[in-house]
Structure 1
Amino acid sequence: MNDIVEQFEITFNQIHQHLKELNGFPKNDNFVELLQRSKLKHSVIRIHFDQLKQYAKLRNAIVHERISGDYFIATPHEDVVNALKRIKRTLDQPPEALEFATRPVLFFKEDTALSHVMEAFDQHGISQFPIYTKERAFSGLLTNDGIVRWLSQNHKNERIVLENICASDVLPVEKDRSVEFLKAGATVFDLEERFERSLNENRKLKAVILTETGNPDDMPMGIVTTWDLIKVDRRESEED
């Protein structure tokens, strides 16, 4: 077999295997079908979708329209093979989620005055803070939406008194399961899968917190929001 054709086929088949893994080895493992599914979930595939779709057509021409022996109706250019290999390397070693996380993570204890937390929202332009107990166990994610909800429920005679109100007083109005945890070594695929799963379950995932082992009671090493996922698309586009 022509060497460049062989390189193309081997690399293409390796990418096909990655797509099967990313989609849980479905019964319908057609390359383009897997590509379409993966596009909705993973930035690497989304960025290279059109490119990979064209490579699939080329691959079909090579495999199914061979004239004889090593004589092919279509032969990939060396640049095409190199581009395919670059995509394959990214799938082999996807970026770590921590690369796209906000670091260091600013967090507060349950007994922190709400007024102080609100000042931090304004000062740092951050929309959520993890809250921990005195024993450093994760207590909840305090968000700007949660604070607004609490304020709307606790105004009296058009006045809101924040004296003696702590972060822990607001946490009960936060919606459940708005945060998940991953270990710091998780990949961007793991990260995207969490947000995709929450979307399929019709719940809003506010953030994914990265800790050393993925245990909620470990100290946070990074926090990722939906806005941070934009960084993934942007970097893939720049590297393409």
Structure 2
Amino acid sequence: MENNTKTFIEYFGKLEAELSEIVKKEYNGNHLPFYEKIDKSSNHSAVVKKYANQLRTFGDLRNILAHNDNRDIAVPSNQTIKEIKYIHNLLIHPLTAFHIAQRKVKKFEKDTPLVDVLRAFNKERYSQYPIYDQGQFEGLLTDNGISYWLSNQLSESTISLKDIKVEDVLIHDQKKANYKFIPSTMDIYEVETLFDEIHREALFVTDDGEPNQKILGIITRSDILQQRE
């Protein structure tokens, strides 16, 4: 297991160098204690924030190895080597919003007949669609929004969808903040927090997170759950 010890020390040095790089603009990162580097870096890196406890465990192990001549007292396991390599790789090659976004994004104009969207819901099994007005983003139409609109029509003996347009339903959707535009480079751990903050139906990925830019993909809560599995 001697090779594991050498590998661990090597990757610990790489991790510490990455943490120093993250905080170098605000601090002289090379002179901060390792645990303080973790705390400071957590404010700037969602990866560090997510794996902070694991990084501290690495620091504890490194101290044991560094201050004991008999290194057999603690030998990094194969699992530990796998984990330290994995976290290091995330720091230098973080997964981004663009990586996990669904590329196929179907959109509708606001004057589209509602029945056309209902057919799309049924055929494609998506639960939300972006709505546009001649290229200008208007909002997100969801199956929940349609259900809410229908429930408000129950006072009528019959409900005719013949002349109903998407815009008629969209203006009654209560969840006006159920979406957000994000930049393609946002890392997935920061993406996760956007779903945790409030109930959002979807995140739209564009180059710089601006709604007037081309949508590169869409991220839903189920996409995040798949990443956590």
Q: TM-score by structure 1 length? A: 0.71
Moved more, 150-159 or 73-82: 73-82
Amino acid of the structure 2 residue aligned with 1:101: A
Correspondence 1:62 to 2:65: yes
Query: How many aligned positions are there?
Result: 210
Kept after mapping to 2: 8 A contact 1:94/1:189: no
Query: Per-residue displacement from partner, 1:146-199 (whole Å, max 9, x unpaired)?
Result: 000001112343311112111111112221211001122333233223223xx2
1:20 to 1:149, Cα distance in 2 relative to 1, 3 A:
farther
Name 1:142's counterpart in structure 2.
141
Candidates 216, 224, 228, aligned match of 2:211: 216
Amino acid of the structure 2 residue aligned with 1:145: N
Q: In 2, Cα distance between the equivalents of 1:49 and 1:74? A: 24
Name 1:170's counterpart in structure 2.
169
Candidates 212, 225, 228, aligned match of 1:230: 225
Q: Compute the displacement of 1:42 (Å).
A: 6.3
Cα RMSD of the aligned pairs, angstroms, is: 3.5
- Structure 2: gaps of 5 or more residues: 25-33
Q: In 1, Cα distance between the equivalents of 2:141 and 2:61? A: 51
Query: Per-residue displacement from partner, 1:1-45 (whole Å, max 9, x unpaired)?
Result: x96564254145357669989xxxxxxx958x96xx99xx96898
Amino acid of the structure 2 residue aligned with 1:88: H
Q: In 2, Cα distance between the equivalents of 1:81 and 1:17? A: 21
Kept after mapping to 2: 8 A contact 1:11/1:85: no
- Structure 1: gaps of 5 or more residues: 22-28, 235-240
Q: In 2, Cα distance between the equivalents of 1:12 and 1:74? A: 23
What are the within-5 Å matches in structure 2 for residues 91-170 of structure 1? 91-134=91-134, 136-170=135-169
1:141 to 1:6, Cα distance in 2 relative to 1, 3 A:
same
Q: In 1, Cα distance between the equivalents of 2:224 and 2:47? A: 9
Q: In 1, Cα distance between the equivalents of 2:116 and 2:65? A: 65
Q: In 2, Cα distance between the equivalents of 1:164 and 1:114? A: 8
Q: In 2, Cα distance between the equivalents of 1:75 and 1:206? A: 47
Name 1:237's counterpart in structure 2.
none
Q: TM-score by structure 2 length? A: 0.74
Q: Compute the displacement of 1:213 (Å).
A: 2.8
Amino acid of the structure 2 residue aligned with 1:222: G
Moved more, 48-57 or 183-192: 48-57
Query: Per-residue displacement from partner, 1:57-109 (whole Å, max 9, x unpaired)?
Result: 4234235xx24xx5557454484446413321112211121222122101100
Q: In 2, Cα distance between the equivalents of 1:164 and 1:223? A: 29
